[in-house]
Amino acid sequence: MPNLAVVGAQWGDEGKGKVVDLLSERFDVVARYQGGPNAGHTVTVGGRRHALHHVPSGVFREGVRAVIGNGTVLDLGRLVEEIEALAAAGVRLTGRLFVSDRAHVILPPMARLDEAAEESASEGSRIGTTRKGIGPAYQTKTARGGIRMADVLDLAHLEARIGELLDGPLAPWFRSAGSWDRAALAREIHGHGQKLEAFVADTSLLLNAWIDEGKRILFEGAQGTLLDLDHGSYPFVTSSSTVAGGLCGGLGISPTRVAGVVGVLKAYCTRVGCGPMPTELHDGPGGLGEKIRERGREFGTTTGRPRRCGWFDGAAAAYANRINRFDSVCVMLLDVLDVFDSLRVCTGYRLDGREVRGFPATVRDAERLAPVFETLPGWRRETSGARRWDDLPAEAKRYLARLEEVIGAEVGLVSVGPDREQSILRPGTWLARALGS
């Protein structure tokens, strides 16, 4: 059984949580490699919805180990709350959750800096972040001033490190977020750290040892390819490497130990926050965009914000396939499209009359893209009860076949509702073989 990566292929919220929960049945370990509480991964088990922010989505399978890797940034107070909420729901993590000693800590001033940057930005330059402090935490990390999990367990050391950070080269920036009592900050973070101490480990060491023993690892991406710091619609991106390649650095794993990459896509597109979205529907109240939002319950898991909705963007998906080289993709929320007479699929972009390959490097160009649309017939039949490939209407299969051509990767799994059962693993595909079906 190979080690597989599950990666978002759009602008996040593609349904990665559901896919990871589903697939983790066949794995021993699930590992998150980047992002932090900006992520909101929903897993529905037995009709009950769980929203996960830091903790990997494999924890609902008993016996599956969960790793939060060095490439993540953690809000320790929220992480403690998340672990406690899971325990209250009967999901115990003691002995099976491992948090990297090298993961960076989001300090309260960083969340404040994130908020302040959003509040002071002009309409056109506001990123629309989750305001969780993600950007400032990664900025501090790359500036080599960050506080890591290994620093929080000793109070005197932590207070000294916080002092160095707040008085070091980044001091003017931190001062702009207010004045901070270093001792109080250190006590707060240390208090959370004590509750997490039992989980802290050198997770690269553990993961590599587990792989040597033949254990199967599932790598869980957060956000999506078009939100990647390098390859996304910069600067309207998150601050980490969300793509498949990011998992190696984010976990301390060699690419030779990754056997395959699975992309996750919605059957249409959404984006929460600002920035270019070429296929967005701007047809207002009562329009198709609103219909998708209502049917797909497209409101942010982390912030509750309404998600912007639009047609499937095959050009962006093909670009995501170039960056990640998907062995297979999962098409999620197909049921949301059940009521449409016809569906549009963007098969490419044009800019100033010329064909564009990939996604433009500048927002100025990305905002001027003219999507090339193709119209396909809808199926106008409920698919949420479909359990096998052959239960899908012919028009739905035709739609999926067109998506495969446009993306350049097979569709290995289709999802027709939030529950585990509402999933169709397509026989004969790379994914079905990789999962041993």
Which ranges constitute the DSSP H helices of 36-125?
Answer: 76-88, 108-120
Name 262's Cβ contacts closer than 8 Å, sequence gap at least 6: 4, 5, 6, 7, 19, 23, 326, 327, 328, 329, 330, 412, 431
Q: Are 238 and 35 in contact (CB under 8 A)?
A: yes
Which residue from 4, 11, 15, 67 is in contact with ligand GDP, where contact means CB under 6 A?
15
Q: 142 Cβ partners below 8 Å, 6+ apart? A: none
Query: Does 44 participate in binding ligand GDP (rule CB under 6 A)?
Result: yes
Q: Which residue has the tokens 């790379």?
A: 430
- Annotated catalytic residue, options 21, 28, 41, 190: 41
Say how many C-beta atoms besides its own lie within 10 A of residue 90's C-beta: 7
Q: Which is nearer to ligand GDP, 251 or 414 (CB)?
A: 414
Part in contact with ligand GDP (CB under 6 A); list of ranges 87-95, 105-113, 400-408, 414-422: 414-422
Residue 229 has φ and ψ, to the nearest 5°, of -60, -40
Work out which of 415, 429, 434, 435 binds ligand GDP, going by CB under 6 A.
Answer: 415
CB nearer Mg ion, residue 298 or residue 327: 298
Site for ligand IMO in 244-273 (CB under 6 A): 272-273
Nearer to Mg ion, 40 or 69 (CB): 40
d(CA 247, CA 323): 13
Distance separating alpha carbons of residues 231 and 372, to the nearest angstrom: 22
β-bridge pairing 4-8 and 260-266: parallel
Indicate the residue among 241 and 302 with the shorter CB distance to Mg ion. 302
Q: Of these partners, ligand IMO, Mg ion, ligand GDP, none, which one is at the site of residue 44 (CB under 5 to 8 Å by kind)?
A: ligand GDP
**Angular region, 407: left φ>0, alpha ψ -120 to 50, beta rest:** alpha
Closest separation between CB of residue 190 and ligand IMO, Å?
25
Backbone angles phi, psi at 402, to 5 degrees: -70, -40
Contact code string over 297-326 relative to ligand GDP, x by CB under 6 A: x---x-------------------------
Strands 370-377 and 104-105: unpaired
Q: What secondary structure letter does DSSP report for 183?
A: H
Q: Burial level of 286, CB count in 10 A (0-12/13-18/19+)?
A: exposed
Is 224 a residue that touches Mg ion (CB under 5 A)? no
- Taking the alpha carbons at both ends of the chain, their separation in whole angstroms is 11
101 is catalytic: no
**What is the closest distance, in whole angstroms, from the C-beta atom of residue 248 to ligand GDP in the complex?**
21
Between 50 and 65, CB nearer to ligand GDP? 50
Indicate if 41 belongs to the active site.
yes
Structure tokens at 142: 């790359």
Candidates 125-133, 401-409, 411-419, 425-433; binding stretch for ligand IMO (CB under 6 A): 125-133
72 binds ligand IMO (CB under 6 A): no
Structure tokens belonging to residue 335: 């049921």
Site string (78-117) toward ligand IMO, x via CB under 6 A = ----------------------------------------
207 interface partner picked from ligand GDP, Mg ion, ligand IMO, none, CB below 5 to 8 A per type: none
SS3 content of the chain, % helix, strand, coil (to 5): 35, 20, 45
Tokens standing for 267?
Answer: 């059957």
As measured in angstroms, the least distance from the Cβ of 12 to Mg ion is 6
**Closest to 335 in 3D by CA, of 416, 244, 398:** 416
User: Would you count residue 8 as binding ligand IMO (CB under 6 A)?
Assistant: yes
Q: Least CB distance from residue 62 to Mg ion, whole Å? A: 24
Among positions 36, 37, 40, 69, the unique one binding ligand GDP when judged by CB under 6 A: 40
Say whether residue 13 binds ligand IMO (CB under 6 A). Answer: yes
Nearest alpha-carbon partner for 182 in 107, 132, 75, 76:
107
**Binding residue (CB under 6 A) for ligand IMO from 23, 29, 30, 127:** 127
**Out of 6, 8, 13, 418, the residue judged to bind Mg ion by CB under 5 A:** 13
Contact between 392 and 383 (Cβ < 8 Å) = yes
Nearer to ligand IMO, 193 or 296 (CB): 296
Catalytic residue ranges: 13, 41
Contact residues: ligand IMO, CB under 6 A: 8, 12-13, 38-41, 127-130, 132, 134-135, 222-224, 227, 238-239, 272-273, 301
> In the complex, which residues of this chain contact ligand GDP (CB under 6 A)?
8, 12-18, 40-42, 44, 296-297, 301, 332-333, 335-336, 415-418, 422
